[in-house]
Amino acid sequence: DAGVIQSPRHEVTEMGQEVTLRCKPISGHNSLFWYRQTMMRGLELLIYFNNNVPIDDSGMPEDRFSAKMPNASFSTLKIQPSEPRDSAVYFCASSFGGNQGNSPLHFGNGTRLTVT
């Protein structure tokens, strides 16, 4: 089990540039979550997918953020255009989600994004 794999680990970009973060969930998991973590706001859920379908995107800050899951083994989170206030650590997590809610989340090591 390779765990949840995120890339890149670090991203530094200039304001206005497009940023794409990538995630490979654990094989066999059918739910995927994107979180953002900052000192000020803590851990925030941005969006989650179930069986590749977005279920709840109410946490996506604004139209500059978009997420896709074209298949069960890959997801992207895109920010266009990026702004300094988007600087944070972005985590992807996956789980084998049934309706009972007793399957834990498995987190990747995150992408640290710095927008200058």
Partner 1 sequence: GNSVTQMEGPVTLSEEAFLTINCTYTATGYPSLFWYVQYPGEGLQLLLKATKADDKGSNKGFEATYRKETTSFHLEKGSVQVSDSAVYFCALSNTGNQFYFGTGTSLTVIP
Instruction: Say if residue 37 is exposed, middle or buried (CB neighbours under 10 Å; 0-12, 13-18, 19+).
Output: middle
Residues 57-116 interacting with partner 1 (rule: CB under 8 A)? 91, 93, 95, 97-110
Minimum gap (Å) between residue 6 Cβ and partner 1: 8
Residue 13 and residue 111 in contact, taking contact as beta carbons nearer than 8 Å: no
Count H helices and E strands in the chain, helices first: 0, 11
Q: Which is nearer to partner 1, 56 or 83 (CB)?
A: 56
Give Dmax over CA atoms of the chain in angstroms: 43
Among 43, 61, 83, 84, binds partner 1 (CB under 8 A): 43
Which residues contribute to the site for partner 1 (CB under 8 A)?
4, 31, 33, 42-43, 45, 48, 50, 56, 91, 93, 95, 97-110
